[in-house]
């Protein structure tokens, strides 16, 4: 089976660039999305240069404005801050293709309203992922994933990423389409987290990890034992 085309919306941020590095290295076609086409292209060029320096030659990565990036991909990854989630979804929703999978990585952290990164906000929909699903057009399956993996480890291609990736969603087949993306990142393991509503717990764990990172000056991840 051919690898799917991935668009990373908000891909100029650390998390988006880290995922782009890992997936591009694994042979996926990547499009970086941004509200500014020049910023998107610059980020793509930086990722390409990093991979070339690592001896990776066969990469296909480019940059476009968010709506155009989303229109050309079968898997769309939303990596924007919570404060920008609604506006970004309105920007891209009409360009999302039926049958595509939208992976929401958004965490409703308090900095969206000037608060602390160690606390989450209440979301009327229940979670950022459920809010994303309400904004997605019919025919687009929304799952949540990659909340608990740090950008620092994603960007460090010399080391494996020590983190289990909990995937929540109401469609089993949509979650399974995310599995190869996780397994393409050395050190990561796919875990089915159940229904999309369980994103509420997984998102909150991100704030917990941020607090631990601050106290221990570390870059932590999640491992689930016994499986």
Is the model more confident about 3 or about 81? Answer: 81
pLDDT of 2 over the 80 cut:
no
| Helices H / strands E in the chain, number of each | 8, 8
pLDDT of 13 over the 60 cut:
yes
| Burial (CB count within 10 angstroms: exposed 0-12, middle 13-18, buried 19+), residue 57 | exposed
pLDDT of 133 over the 60 cut:
yes
C-alpha distances (whole Å) from 178 to each of 52, 65, 143, 183, 190 are: 26, 24, 9, 9, 8
Q: What integer pLDDT is reported at residue 3 of this predicted model? A: 87
Q: What is the pLDDT of residues 45-83, one digit of tens each?
A: 999 999 999 999 889 999 999 999 999 999 999 999 999
Q: What is the pLDDT of residues 147-159, one digit of tens each?
A: 999 999 999 999 9
Q: What integer pLDDT is reported at residue 1 of this predicted model? A: 47
Q: What is the pLDDT of residues 181-196, one digit of tens each?
A: 999 999 999 999 999 9
The stretch 161-171 carries a mean pLDDT of: 97
The stretch 136-146 carries a mean pLDDT of: 98
Q: What is the pLDDT of residues 98-112, one digit of tens each?
A: 999 999 999 999 999
Q: Is the pTM of this model over 0.85?
A: yes
- The CATH T-level fold of domain 6-216 is Rossmann fold (3.40.50)
Average pLDDT, the chain: 96
**Tokens matching residue 44:** 């793509």
- Domain residues of the chain, as ranges? 6-216
Cα torsion angle, 106, 108, 111, 116, sign: negative
What stretches of the chain show up as alpha helix (H) in DSSP?
A: 14-25, 37-53, 66-71, 85-92, 128-135, 151-155, 172-183, 199-216
Q: Which residues pair with 166 in a beta bridge?
A: 191
What stretches of 32-161 show up as alpha helix (H) in DSSP?
A: 37-53, 66-71, 85-92, 128-135, 151-155
Q: What integer pLDDT is reported at residue 58 of this predicted model? A: 85
């Amino acid at each position: 089976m051919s690898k799917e085309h991935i668009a990373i919306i908000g891909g100029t941020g650390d998390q988006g660039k880290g995922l782009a590095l890992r997936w591009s290295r694994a042979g996926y076609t990547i499009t970086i999305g941004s509200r500014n086409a020049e910023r998107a292209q610059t980020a793509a060029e930086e990722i390409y240069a990093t991979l070339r320096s690592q001896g990776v030659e066969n990469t296909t990565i480019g940059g476009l404005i968010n709506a155009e990036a989303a229109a050309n991909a079968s898997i769309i990854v939303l990596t924007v801050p919570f404060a920008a989630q609604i506006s970004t979804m309105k920007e891209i929703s009409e360009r999302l293709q039926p049958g595509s999978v939208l992976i929401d990585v958004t965490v409703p952290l308090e900095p969206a309203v000037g608060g602390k990164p160690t606390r989450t906000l209440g979301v009327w929909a229940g979670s950022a992922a459920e809010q994303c699903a309400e904004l997605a057009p019919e025919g687009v399956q929304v799952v949540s994933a990659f909340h608990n993996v740090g950008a620092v480890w994603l960007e460090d291609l010399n080391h494996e990423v020590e983190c289990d990736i909990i995937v929540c969603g109401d469609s089993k087949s949509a979650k399974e389409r995310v599995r190869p993306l996780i397994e393409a990142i050395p050190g990561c393991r796919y875990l089915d987290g159940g229904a999309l509503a369980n994103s509420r717990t997984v998102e909150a764990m991100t704030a917990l990890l941020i607090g631990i990172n601050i106290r221990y000056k570390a870059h932590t991840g999640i491992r689930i034992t016994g499986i």
